[in-house]
Chain A
Amino acid sequence: EIVLTQSPGTLSLSPGERATLSCRASQSVSSSYLGWYQQKPGQAPRLLIYGASSRATGIPERFSGSGSGTDFTLTISRLEPEDFAVYYCQQYGTSPPGFTFGQGTKLEIK
């Protein structure tokens, strides 16, 4: 089973700054199968990025995803107040078939 490790655990930044979140897989992941989700307190997760780099419907352009193989990155170009939340990466594995999530990165206001 593929393990996803996210870093850092907590990222403290100010509005307007650039955020870079990392997701590292224990073995190679198809880019098609890598997604990113945002979760705010008391809410369900929201899909941000699928296929490693494609923005989901309605997601602002300041969110972008990149990477391949075992290293993937979520970048938020200029932080807005509403972006402070927990972010999870997720992958789909085929052997055995199933999904795993990273442990999350908390993005907090500095």
Chain B
Amino acid sequence: QVTLRESGPALVKPTQTLTLTCSFSGFSLSTNGMCVSWIRQPPGKALEWLARIDWDGDKFYNTSLKTRLIISKVTSKNQVVLTMTNMDPVDTATYYCARIVVASGSYLFDYWGQGALVTVSS
């Protein structure tokens, strides 16, 4: 059974750095074709992809946020960590992590965490 769970602070101040952890079970990020991504959704708005880390350690970022994001994995702990620097109120959103399976040439976001609401306010 595949599960993912996001954890981190619910409230951060402007200019602070946000650190979110995705803890997962039911799969290994060392398995060929497995990836984990972070996606966010401001209240009432659309989904925005943030970053992805692959089974082989490759990392990819949203080009418009690239300078503020770092994604990393701790394979032994089944965790993926996202840090976002210089937080601003516009970064207030629900942050999701999701498993991606590369299959048949497609990228399937097939399992998602329940999401973590992060509010940026002084």
Q: How many A-B pairs with Cβ below 8 Å?
A: 67
Say yes or no: A37 contacts B107, CB within 8 Å: no
Say yes or no: A88 contacts B106, CB within 8 Å: no
The answer to whether A101 and B110 touch (CB under 8 A), given A44-B96, A54-B104, is: no
Which single member of A57, A88, A99 contacts B107 (CB below 8 Å)?
A99
Say yes or no: A56 contacts B47, CB within 8 Å: no
Chain A positions within 8 Å of B, measured between CB atoms, are 1, 32-33, 35, 37, 39, 43-47, 50-51, 54, 56-57, 88, 90, 92, 96-104
Which single member of B52, B106, B112 contacts A33 (CB below 8 Å)?
B106
The answer to whether A51 and B62 touch (CB under 8 A), given A56-B110, A101-B47, is: no
Query: B104 to chain A: which residues have CB within 8 Å?
Result: 32, 51, 54
Say yes or no: A101 contacts B108, CB within 8 Å: no
Which single member of B46, B61, B105, B109 contacts A98 (CB below 8 Å)?
B61
Which 9 residue pairs of A and B lie closest in terms of their CB atoms, listed nearest first? A44-B112, A99-B49, A32-B105, A101-B47, A51-B106, A50-B106, A103-B46, A50-B108, A32-B106
Cα–Cα distance between A102 and B48 once the two chains are bound (Å): 9
